[in-house]
Structure 1
Amino acid sequence: MEASGYKFYSDNGKEEDCFQILKDHGINSIRLRTFVNPSDDPASGHCSKEETVAMAVRAQKFGMKVMIDFHYSDTWADPSKQVKPKAWEGHDFPTLLNDLYTYTFDVMSALKAAGVSPEWVQVGNEIPGGMVYPEGSSTNWPQLAQLINKGYEAIKTVSPQSKVILHVDQGNNNDRFRWWFDAAKANGAKYDIIGLSYYPYWLEGKPDYSLSIVDLAKNMNDMVSRYGKEVMVVEVGGEDTKVQNTYDMLIAVQKKVLEVPNNKGLGVFYWEPEGARSWSHYALSAWGDDGKPTKALDAFLWKDN
């Protein structure tokens, strides 16, 4: 957005660094994706190792913790697409394992050299169907687990204190999570935290969050008791045109995370609050056409009393 000339404005209309605006609204951690060999397309490019490291350094300068989200692709990866990096095409499975380890190790080492120790690192982005297709599809869990574990090992070798997240969408869908994490356990996949996406907007019929928030809470609690792991909502978002509803939803999600037993609910990340629709054409930001955050972002100033 900055490279295209987009300007960010504070609540009072003053042009300001986006990180400062986020911080002033209670944001204390930044989640950064990284692509293997991204294009220079203004919307779907960027996020190279060098850019991700620079952003991580910048976040840290604002006193924020950092999460790194490895997409293991040259572009966006999510449940509908997990496209293998072009440089890895044609490689046999042992070589792919080495590709994934080497790339992960390289990015983590670059972060370390820049003075950044990520608090959390995702191995894959929204991977209910797996990643690095077709070899890492969830139709072949033994191979998917090996890929996950190569990522885990590379992360821990460079940064032993970083917590590794495995991330599945539809955080209110307990059947989906039990199916996936049962398979992860059966195949020896290594991780520390269960990451959930929660988007009422993307559920069938776009129902109000009030109809699925209890299911989100039940699923998080079940994940903790079933697998003994911590949980985190690593993506959440609401409609930019329904500001009050999105504000209410964000507070409700924070409350449910805080209510997870034994302090195993770690936090909530909004994806992506600053991605204003006027620039991104994405309907779920917390930014207005005037370049300023909407009231929805104030939800992160909420404190549990």
Structure 2
Amino acid sequence: MKRTLTFFLLLPLALLTANSAKAQDFYFGNDLSYVNQMEDCGADFKEWMQPKDVYDLYAERGNDLVRVRLWVDPAWQEELNQPAGVKPVYSNFEDVKETIQRSKAAGMQVLLDLHYSDFWADPGRQVIPSRWYDIAFDEEALADSVYNYTHKVLSDLNTEGLMPEMVQVGNETNSGMMTHRSMDENFEATEPISSSWQRHAKMFNTGIQAVRDVSATSTVDTKVVLHYAGVGSGLDWWYQNAISNGITDFDVIGFSYYYAWHGSSVEAVGEQIGSLSQSYPDKEIMILETGYPWTDENFDSNGNIITDTTPEYSPPSPSVQLDYLVNLTKEVMASGGHGVIFWESAWVTTSCTTPWATGSSHDHVVFFEPFTDNFIGSGGGLWLDPGFYVDMNSIQVIYKVDMNGQDQSNGVYIAIDENEDGLKISKRMYHEGYGIYSYTTYLSPGTETASFFHTGSDPQNRETVPAACATSGVRVTTVSNANMETGYQWGTCDAIAGAGSRDLLLTISAS
């Protein structure tokens, strides 16, 4: 096929239009609750090994929704031994305000996650804030406090032009809101208060009403989100109970899905979303938390908390993590869902400590290299690209080049026609290590691509592809029906072995 080699650094208009429409209908999100603290702890987020504002990085990659948690009085952090320059407390109002400011400045919407606790609220730990300890068994007084607290938080944000587009009333509230009064020395919930759905409904509806009342005074029409942790029969049961007990004035059915804990397949999650969409056509369906590792290695003293991977996406590697997230997102889209949020993709390893250990329990999950904090340009962070979802049958294609002996100082690029329209778009390639560079994309089976490699951003600084493996001076590849990888040594017809991204990455990161 003869191709006209016209070069553009921007996407074709037709693709931009398709991507924009898709992004408006679907939320690509990340929970960035740890980001501000990680920066204070010494994290130096980078892209292409150059310092980069992390909020801008996410926005430019395609993230359009930032989730951030808010604790009521998280004073327990003051007892942690943190490095100099680290604030005593995070995930309080001032920290959350900073996250919302920076997110909106980067053009992203915000989902505010109200935990109604001083500590992490989850299925087994819904501990009432310490300021409400004395009224734990007084439902009317507690409901009044929930309303006043929610109303003040949102009113203060709204006054500063920071009203969130979504508010989550409670976090992973499988057992209800504020069902325990205290925690023990291991941060486990103690002193049960109540398991009554009547009480649950009062707390939820009070919080929801506060959101509605403030939203009515704002230019932002804030959506109300509820949150269950898990899939399967429990997810169906919880929302049936919530609605039958009078918790009806909400917009989003949200849930957590981690293979490591919930065990369901990607396909089964899609089927359940489809069922929920039919049962509750007036609600949006979103995965509020998910995560998948790119390695089984641990890089600090804080143990990994996601340790199991599904056989279909094993062993873990950056490209496998990406494929898992893209396929999960495709399944959610195809089933009528409205968004996916990845949990704590920037909780990198630092010298800061948690209640359990120093470092991060997500260093094997985050979208950044350990020790360098450089964005992994071949891993899960790429899932945010709306272009991957224009064709829901597209498959992962990885192009690699061996640059040993060549000038790499200005970066390595691939000029590639992904749309068979003659337009060549230069894409920067990610350094996997040992002089191997890669570019990962998703293309329709049967697509024929024309490409060549070049150094620096100017395509004129290109390789000369030998005639023996060139068509009109370019490399031509036909996309197969399954994930594929192709690679060459610069300026030759010699193929390179499919060196594992994971092993290369770990080698350069530890050096």
Normalising by structure 1, we get a TM-score of 0.90
Pairing 1:256–2:336 present = no
Deviation at 1:138, TM superposition (A): 7.8
Please, which moves more after superposition, 228-237 or 136-145?
A: 136-145
1:16 equivalent among 45, 52, 61: 52
Deviation at 1:33, TM superposition (A): 0.6
Alpha-carbon separation, structure 1, partners of 2:198 and 2:43: 45
| Mapped contact 1:131–1:144 kept (Cα < 8 A) | yes
| Residue matched to 1:187 | 245
Deviation at 1:269, TM superposition (A): 1.0
| Mapped contact 1:130–1:137 kept (Cα < 8 A) | no
Alpha-carbon separation, structure 1, partners of 2:173 and 2:89: 21
Deviation at 1:297, TM superposition (A): 0.2
Structure 2: gaps (5+ residues): 1-37, 83-87, 182-191, 296-315, 351-358, 391-511
Alpha-carbon separation, structure 2, partners of 1:281 and 1:178: 30
| Mapped contact 1:73–1:85 kept (Cα < 8 A) | yes
RMSD: 2.0
CA gap of 1:203–1:184, structure 2 versus 1, over 3 A, is closer
Q: Deviations for 1:78-127, whole angstroms, at most 9, x for unmatched residues?
A: 11211110001020111110111111111111110110231111000111
Deviation at 1:277, TM superposition (A): 4.2
| Residue matched to 2:367 | 286
| Residue matched to 1:7 | 44
Deviation at 1:227, TM superposition (A): 2.3
Aligned-partner SS, 1:116: coil
Pairing 1:57–2:101 present = yes
More helix by share: 1
1:118 equivalent among 148, 161, 164: 164
| Residue matched to 1:236 | 290
Q: Deviations for 1:199-230, whole angstroms, at most 9, x for unmatched residues?
A: 112236xxxxxx61111111111111112211
| Residue matched to 1:272 | 344
Q: Deviations for 1:233-276, whole angstroms, at most 9, x for unmatched residues?
A: 11111113122222111111211221134xxx221111111112
- The count of corresponding residues between Structure 1 and Structure 2 is 293
Please, which moves more after superposition, 34-43 or 295-304?
A: 34-43
2:112 equivalent among 62, 68, 71: 68
Read off the aligned partner of 1:26 and give its amino acid letter: G
Alpha-carbon separation, structure 2, partners of 1:122 and 1:138: 21
Alpha-carbon separation, structure 2, partners of 1:259 and 1:182: 24
Pairing 1:300–2:384 present = yes
| Mapped contact 1:275–1:285 kept (Cα < 8 A) | yes
| Mapped contact 1:38–1:75 kept (Cα < 8 A) | yes
Alpha-carbon separation, structure 1, partners of 2:194 and 2:255: 17
Structure 1: gaps (5+ residues): 205-210
| Residue matched to 2:274 | 221
| Mapped contact 1:240–1:287 kept (Cα < 8 A) | no
Alpha-carbon separation, structure 2, partners of 1:94 and 1:13: 55
| Mapped contact 1:105–1:155 kept (Cα < 8 A) | yes
Aligned-partner SS, 1:89: helix
Alpha-carbon separation, structure 2, partners of 1:302 and 1:108: 31
| Mapped contact 2:101–2:162 kept (Cα < 8 A) | yes
| Residue matched to 1:152 | 208
Pairing 1:140–2:219 present = no
Q: Deviations for 1:43-62, whole angstroms, at most 9, x for unmatched residues?
A: 99411112212210111000
Larger radius of gyration: 2
Deviation at 1:5, TM superposition (A): 2.2
Alpha-carbon separation, structure 1, partners of 2:272 and 2:349: 31
Deviation at 1:134, TM superposition (A): 3.7
More strand by share: 2
| Mapped contact 1:123–1:165 kept (Cα < 8 A) | yes
Read off the aligned partner of 1:14 and give its amino acid letter: Q
Alpha-carbon separation, structure 2, partners of 1:137 and 1:214: 38
Alpha-carbon separation, structure 2, partners of 1:111 and 1:81: 27
| Mapped contact 1:275–1:286 kept (Cα < 8 A) | no
Normalising by structure 2, we get a TM-score of 0.55
| Residue matched to 2:153 | 107
